[in-house]
Structure 1
Amino acid sequence: MLFIAASFDVKKAVTNITNAEEAVISCENHGFEDGDIVQIYSGWGRLNHRAVRVKNATLDSFVAEEIDTRNTTFFPSGTGAGSVRKVLEFIQISKYLNPSISGGDPKPVTVKFMDEDTETTLNDGFSAVTESFEIDADQFGTPAYQAMVELSESQTDTILKKVLKSGDMIFTPCTIALNENVKLAEGSIMTNSVAVNGNGRITRYNKQ
């Protein structure tokens, strides 16, 4: 099943994120509860835009479940502050078909050092993730359709949520682009195409 984050609470300031097996995020009077899904904006590039599940919430802090920030090369101590916002509503996208995904693959770079006679292949990060699918054109006017129209027009950040048959959930930070022009094909239903442009790392969680 597919869901789109249609609304968010206002951003709240994050004053510190710890380097830990599961990062502790300091955010005064955040109001979050265990199990909430929030989006993090952080000075750490590997955490920026990422969707996380709230765990062990207290008045002024919470744990970002399964977010490991112990590597201070990737997560320099004291530089992860930013902001956080809670997802208020996920709306299910019904009657979708022809899903596809590309990107997310390693980007190899081949170099040859002057003092060596063989080339070396290095990994230079990962390519951007893009996904696409089509929806039944008769979904026009539904809450999910309207949400995607608004997100397409504003090109603001959102989160795509996938629920697998196992109950596991995958959250993809992204922007959405809905093509409102109906696609016509003989012998097939009329559809609208939707593009999902990832702008951060995905997060996968087991069913609660």
Structure 2
Amino acid sequence: MGFRLPNGATLQIASTYGPAIPVTALSNANPAVATAAAHGLTDGDIIAVTSGWTRLNDRAARVANSLTGTFAMENINTTNLQPYPAGSGMGSVREVTGFVEISQITDVNFSGGDQQFLTFGFLADDDDRQIPTTKNPISIAYTVADDPDLPYVAVVEAADDDKQVRVLRMNLPGGSSILYNGYVTITSTPSMGRNNLMTRVITLSLAGRPTRYAAVVV
């Protein structure tokens, strides 16, 4: 049994990416192994994934077991052939080559992610039945103290402008992390109230499922 506080956590957004690396095959395994000639990736690199598998597409992952021509996507389990049909997962990956910290966060609010259900009943039933269907999309709102001179501001405003997905990494106390990939927007003007901080709100709308990682052991 364990527990922890988020105090001391830091949030980063991808500021630069490498070129797209074609993935010519992707295995049904845990973790999934990608075939990519001369990929140049090393263990611990963070990648954004484009895949023919809808459930994997637009996720972020950490590279592991990197060899010449192959690498694994740590904590990505593709053994279930129903959402990951064999032979159709190929696509590409892009390495995140630079991160910049989104600093001065004063509040974090999560919305969505709750399970939806289909409620139904048969003629002979006295009680209705319920089966899970989809989950609501997840959004995370980060309130930040306003400072237009901080390095992350230009990166976030560019993401707001071009509406392209960005990788974000939440670094938790103890060295573990959570990777997100999604659309990033920011309020165009800070909120203002007497005797209160001027703040802006950065919103992350997830395009793919988050991936959580334990601390890297060296």
1:64 paired with 2:73, answer yes
1:200 paired with 2:208, answer yes
Structure 1 position 15, deviation (Å): 1.0
Partner of 1:146, secondary structure, is: helix
Map of 2:59 onto structure 1: 50
Give unpaired runs (5+ residues) of structure 1.
Answer: none
1:83-102 deviation per Cα after TM superposition (whole angstroms, max 9, x unaligned): 11000111111111121001
Structure 1 position 128, deviation (Å): 0.5
Map of 1:6 onto structure 2: 15
* Residue number among 98, 111, 115 corresponding to 1:102 in the alignment: 111
1:202 partner letter? P
Aligned CA-pair RMSD: 1.3
1:40 paired with 2:43, answer no
Partner of 1:56, secondary structure, is: strand
| 1-structure distance, mates of 2:124, 2:81 | 31
| 1-structure distance, mates of 2:49, 2:123 | 43
Query: Structure 1 residues 25, 115: closer, same or farther in 2, change over 3 A?
Result: farther
Map of 1:185 onto structure 2: 193
Partner of 1:153, secondary structure, is: helix
| 2-structure distance, mates of 1:52, 1:3 | 15
1:57-115 deviation per Cα after TM superposition (whole angstroms, max 9, x unaligned): 12211011121111111211111111110001111111111210011121112123456
Using structure 2 for the length normalisation, give the TM-score: 0.91
Residues 75 and 211 in structure 2, CA contact (< 8 A), matched pair in contact too: no
Partner of 1:57, secondary structure, is: strand
Residues paired across the two proteins, number: 207
Map of 1:92 onto structure 2: 101
Using structure 1 for the length normalisation, give the TM-score: 0.95
Partner of 2:153, secondary structure, is: helix
| 1-structure distance, mates of 2:121, 2:163 | 41
1:25 paired with 2:34, answer yes
Structure 1 position 41, deviation (Å): 0.8
Query: Structure 1 residues 117, 43: closer, same or farther in 2, change over 3 A?
Result: farther
* Residue number among 152, 160, 164 corresponding to 1:156 in the alignment: 164
Structure 1 position 118, deviation (Å): 3.5
| 1-structure distance, mates of 2:193, 2:142 | 16
| 1-structure distance, mates of 2:160, 2:75 | 31
| 2-structure distance, mates of 1:100, 1:38 | 26
Give unpaired runs (5+ residues) of structure 2.
Answer: 1-9
Structure 1 position 125, deviation (Å): 2.0
Partner of 2:67, secondary structure, is: coil
1:100-157 deviation per Cα after TM superposition (whole angstroms, max 9, x unaligned): 001112111212345655422111121100010121112x032101100111100111
Map of 1:127 onto structure 2: 136
Structure 1 position 8, deviation (Å): 1.0
| 2-structure distance, mates of 1:42, 1:56 | 20
